[in-house]
Amino acid sequence: MTTQRKSDDRIALLQGTLDLLILKTLVFKPCHGQGIARSILRHSEEVLFVDHGSLYVALQRLEDRKWISAKWGISENNRKARFYCLTAKGRAQLVEKSSEWRRLTRAMGLILEAGEGPQGEEA
């Protein structure tokens, strides 16, 4: 079995961040699964790659939690697709999750920048 090597500049998603990305993507307009995957890839300048299978499991999870709702429709290129849109509950979650994320990244940033000094010597 050959394992698939990912492009070096792509980053696998951290646990829990996928939910946030999905919610954020759906803020602008309802979208189907494949569109969400593409959108995440495009908006992250091709850095964040979402495993499509995991994406659908995550979508289902969010739907079960009633953060998003779904119905079947027709895509821009005239194909059948299941469209997801954000619910009020999901919108509230998005606000909460993004502020959480910002605090996390700020804290990470502080630590990583402070820790760069001693390591720089060796490089």
* Contact set with another protein (CB under 8 A): 4, 32-35, 37-38, 51-54, 56-57, 60-61, 63-64, 66, 69, 75, 77, 79-82
Whether the CB-CB separation of 36 and 27 falls below 8 Å is answered with no
CA angle 110, 97, 88 (to 5 degrees): 160
- Cα–Cα distance between 33 and 51 in angstroms, integer? 11
**C-beta of 56 vs 101, nearer to another protein:** 56
**C-beta of 78 vs 119, nearer to another protein:** 78
Residue labelled with tokens 């059948």: 80
Distance of closest approach, residue 28 Cβ to another protein, in angstroms: 19
**C-beta of 35 vs 90, nearer to another protein:** 35
